[in-house]
């Protein structure tokens, strides 16, 4: 039976530090030994300020680093940004300042090792620092995600795929959301974080995981040695069926979900806003590609917000975006609906829009169900 710890918390460091220390001591205290190499893996996808609620808050990272140092171990804070420099993210997010004076390595993942994650993916290059670490502290953010509904502990491990390799794997999964979820679960199982502690103090709801999402104060930190149990408990807290999250659906199919108990008080968060409904994939297999194309929400651009910064077309795995005089143009035949462009747009110019086909099918389903 997995244990999920839930504690009230704020970004006041005097209050946050003892709460964080209590959680990590209970879940991983015995596993962190003097001299251990401890990888701290926050969500550091792209440059954003703490109040945007897109990245793990710098004070949570600081608490993790201080705990590891107190144990006599060697902390390293790493992630692999989708685009831009890791150093700039540390600066903009305030992590560089928060960690000033602490003996910690902060570096982006660079070198990789090839790991067999099983069928159908086979070998995949995973950050060497993650594979070599004695202990991994996973620090996800509670936020919504256009494709995966929520991006929590399991998905945070996708950051162990380095740089543009992430795009290649998105491309390989194509428009098949469940194929991508299977990949995420397999990567998580290959890396297996020792403990996952979620920053749910200021969460992101609505059209996350990028600048289009809306910060929402929830005021909790949650931790578990079982990432799936943690993610299931978060679903319960925000009032959604855990099986509507693709990664948890896959984990259930793979029989790797455990029962869990809550230690603490899990708040009931009402009206937690989720992204535009996902595509409607049902019926015989030969119809699935057609349904994906016509019912999955489309990425769209608000030209008045676009500053032609080039980030979206640089990282689009399908090369489905081209620059125009004002704003950008999508090639929806090429687009695989990964929504990475929405995630990284620094100006919140991109969002997802339900297709006419999606609306019609959804209305029909609602009418006859």
Q: Which of 308, 354, 357, 362 binds ligand SF4 (CB under 6 A)?
A: 308
Q: CA 192, CA 154: separation in Å to the nearest integer? A: 9
Q: CB-based contacts of 363: which residues, under 8 Å, 6+ apart?
A: none
Residues 323-362: x where in contact with ligand SF4 by CB under 6 A, - otherwise, as a string: -----x-x----xxxxxxx---x-x-xx------------
Nearer to ligand SF4, 308 or 361 (CB): 308
CB of 53 to ligand SF4, least distance (A): 19
Nearer to ligand SF4, 42 or 299 (CB): 299
CB of 45 to ligand SF4, least distance (A): 13
Q: How many residues bind ligand SF4 (CB under 6 A)?
A: 27
CB of 321 to ligand SF4, least distance (A): 5
SS3 state at 1: coil
Q: Quick check: 149 binds ligand SF4 (CB under 6 A)?
A: no
CB-hemisphere CA count at 13 Å for 35? 0
Q: Quick check: 82 binds ligand SF4 (CB under 6 A)?
A: no
Q: Quick check: 54 binds ligand SF4 (CB under 6 A)?
A: no
What pairs with residue 292 in β-bridges? none
Nearer to ligand SF4, 169 or 339 (CB): 339
- With both helix axes pointing from N to C terminus, report the angle between 227-238 and 246-253 in degrees, rounded to the nearest 10: 130
Q: Which of 16, 162, 306, 358 binds ligand SF4 (CB under 6 A)?
A: 306
DSSP 199-219: EEEEEEEESTTSTTEEEEEEE
- Measured in degrees and rounded to the nearest 5, phi and psi for residue 4 equal -120, 115
Q: Quick check: 83 binds ligand SF4 (CB under 6 A)?
A: no
CB-hemisphere CA count at 13 Å for 326? 4
Please report, for residues 19, 105, 181, 231, the alpha-carbon distance to residue 228 in angstroms, rounded to integers and kept in the order given.
22, 28, 13, 5
Q: Are 334 and 144 in contact (CB under 8 A)?
A: no
Q: Quick check: 74 binds ligand SF4 (CB under 6 A)?
A: no
Nearer to ligand SF4, 87 or 323 (CB): 323
| Residue ranges in contact with ligand SF4 by CB under 6 A | 299, 301, 306-312, 316-318, 320-321, 328, 330, 335-341, 345, 347, 349-350
């Amino acid at each position: 039976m997995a244990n999920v710890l839930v504690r009230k918390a704020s970004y006041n460091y005097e209050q946050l530090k003892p709460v964080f220390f209590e959680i990590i001591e209970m879940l991983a205290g015995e596993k962190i030994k003097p001299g251990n190499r401890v990888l701290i893996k926050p969500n550091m996808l792209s440059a954003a300020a703490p109040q945007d609620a897109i990245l793990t808050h710098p004070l949570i990272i600081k608490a993790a680093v201080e705990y590891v140092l107190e144990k006599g171990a060697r902390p390293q804070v790493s992630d692999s940004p989708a685009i831009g420099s890791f150093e700039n993210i540390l600066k903009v997010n305030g992590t560089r300042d928060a960690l000033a004076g602490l003996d910690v390595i902060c570096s982006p993942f660079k070198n990789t090792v090839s790991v067999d994650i099983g069928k159908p993916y086979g070998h995949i290059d995973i950050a060497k620092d993650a594979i070599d670490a004695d202990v991994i502290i996973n620090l996800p953010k509670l936020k919504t995600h256009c494709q995966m509904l929520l991006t929590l502990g399991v998905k945070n491990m996708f950051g162990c795929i380095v740089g543009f390799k992430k795009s290649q794997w998105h491309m390989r999964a194509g428009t098949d959301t469940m194929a991508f979820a299977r990949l995420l679960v397999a990567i998580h199982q290959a890396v297996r974080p020792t403990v996952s502690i979620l920053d749910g103090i200021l969460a992101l709801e609505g059209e996350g995981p990028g600048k289009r999402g809306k910060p929402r104060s929830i005021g909790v930190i949650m931790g578990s040695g079982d990432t799936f149990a943690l993610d299931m408990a978060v679903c319960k807290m925000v009032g959604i069926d855990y099986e509507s999250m693709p990664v948890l659906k896959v984990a259930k199919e793979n029989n790797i979900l455990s029962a869990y108990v809550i230690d603490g008080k899990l708040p009931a968060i009402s009206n937690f806003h989720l992204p535009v409904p996902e595509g409607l994939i049902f019926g015989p297999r030969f119809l699935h590609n057609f349904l994906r194309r016509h019912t999955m929400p489309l990425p769209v651009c608000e030209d008045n917000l676009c500053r032609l910064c080039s980030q979206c077309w640089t990282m689009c795995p399908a090369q489905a975006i081209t620059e125009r005089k004002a704003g950008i143009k999508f090639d929806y035949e090429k687009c695989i609906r990964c929504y990475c462009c929405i995630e990284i747009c620094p100006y919140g110019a991109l969002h997802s829009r339900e297709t006419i086909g999606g609306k019609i099918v959804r209305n029909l389903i609602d009418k006859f169900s």
